[in-house]
Chain A
Amino acid sequence: GAGVSQSPSNKVTEKGKDVELRCDPISGHTALYWYRQSLGQGLEFLIYFQGNSAPDKSGLPSDRFSAERTGGSVSTLTIQRTQQEDSAVYLCASSYQSGIGETQYFGPGTRLLVL
């Protein structure tokens, strides 16, 4: 595809359930980022993958959050035992490579609502 895609576009779940969010980056992009945007707030960095290097997990808010990137391409963000405060839009972005001045291309996001 031409851009970053994310699925599902919307997800409603009950408190305590696990959810998986998927991101398909632009082909050939080695860097992949996950962000969270709560209502009326800016973007909050969650995690970053670069090639085969160990991911930068410094932004994950708790151990209920984890992410994988298989084969250097598709990434899955998993939230276990969801809480109402997890409700937000989760945005994925990719860039050709990491580092200074690389433009990030964003997907449309997954809107998560935890009831």
Chain B
Amino acid sequence: SQQGEEDPQALSIQEGENATMNCSYKTSINNLQWYRQNSGRGLVHLILIRSNEREKHSGRLRVTLDTSKKSSSLLITASRAADTASYFCATDARDTGNQFYFGTGTSLTVIP
């Protein structure tokens, strides 16, 4: 099935370091989105990158998209303890634009 897979599954870093998470998917997409989920809470949308874009920035977030490799990366620079959360990528396949597919997520722990 069309599903994003994040890697690594878990990541632990020191505050101030950069965190990089990767997402791979299987079929052609319209867009790829990254979401964040704090423990016990709903998801919050972080950033959307369209299939014709290669890189996008939002504050301390940088997202890249390589459609030839069917992969995306999320970089969080100068991490903070408050960035501790699970991060999910979501894709909408070109032929089923209404349906989003989420990966299993990367659990990020930022140690103060």
Count chain A CB atoms within 10 A of each CB in B4, B30, B45, B100 and give the residue with the most: B100
Provide the bound-state CA to CA distance between A23 and B78, in Å. Answer: 36
Contact B41 A48, beta carbon cutoff 8 Å: no
Interface bracket on B:
20 to 34
Task: Report how far A4 CA is from B30 CA in the complex, Å.
Answer: 25
A42 touches B48 (CB 8 A): no
Known: A100-B31, A101-B50. A42 touches B102 (CB 8 A): yes
Chain A interface residue number, banded: 20 to 34
A42 touches B98 (CB 8 A): no
Residue B109 at the chain A interface, CB threshold 8 Å: no
A25 at the interface (CB under 8 A from B): no
List of B residues within 8 angstroms of A98 by Cβ = 97-98
B103 and chain A: residue at smallest CB distance:
A42
Asked if A103 and B100 make an inter-chain contact with CB atoms under 8 angstroms apart, the answer reads no
Binding site for A on B (CB under 8 A): 3-4, 30-31, 33, 35, 40-45, 48, 50, 88, 90, 92, 97-105
Give the 4 A-B CB pairs with smallest separation, nearest first.
Answer: A43-B102, A106-B42, A42-B104, A106-B43
